[in-house]
Amino acid sequence: MQTGTRQEDLQVVQSQRTRCEVWTRVMGYFRPVSHFNVGKKSEHYSRKHFVECATANQSFMAQYADV
């Protein structure tokens, strides 16, 4: 297995990209985001995603940082 840099890899697959349906929930059930109404779409795009490791470290620091 020989892989190039990530950048090169990304360029290679660019030509093979296809549409990707994202499913998530705003209401009580999962729906494709493309079927959301305008308001719900805007809520979806304004979501802040968390990085698991960074969040865990922050909660560690909340407990053990110098007080």
Partner 1 sequence: MLISGIQQFTLLDYPDKTACIVFTPGCNFRCGFCHNPEFVLPEEIEQIKDSFIPEAAFFRFLEERQGLLDGVVITGGEPTLMGDLLPFIEKIKEMGFLVKLDSNGNTPQILKKIVETGLVDYVAMDIKTILPKYKELVGSRVREAHIQEAISFIKDHGIDHEFRSTIIKEVHTPDVLQGMAVLVEGARRYFLQNFRPEKTLDPAFEHYHGFSESELYDIRELFVPVVAEVGIRS
Q: Give the binding site for partner 1 (CB under 8 A).
A: 1-3, 6, 51, 53-58, 60-61, 63-66
> Least distance in Å: CB of 61 to partner 1?
6
**For residue 57, what are the CA distances in angstroms to 19, 54, 62?**
35, 5, 9
> Least distance in Å: CB of 53 to partner 1?
5
Paired tokens of 47: 């979501």
Is residue 24 within 8 A of residue 30, CB to CB? The reply is: yes
Query: Please, which residue, 23 or 50, has the CB nearer to partner 1?
Result: 50
> Least distance in Å: CB of 18 to partner 1?
16
Residue 62: φ, ψ to 5°:
-60, -30
Query: Please, which residue, 22 or 61, has the CB nearer to partner 1?
Result: 61
Paired tokens of 7: 């950048």
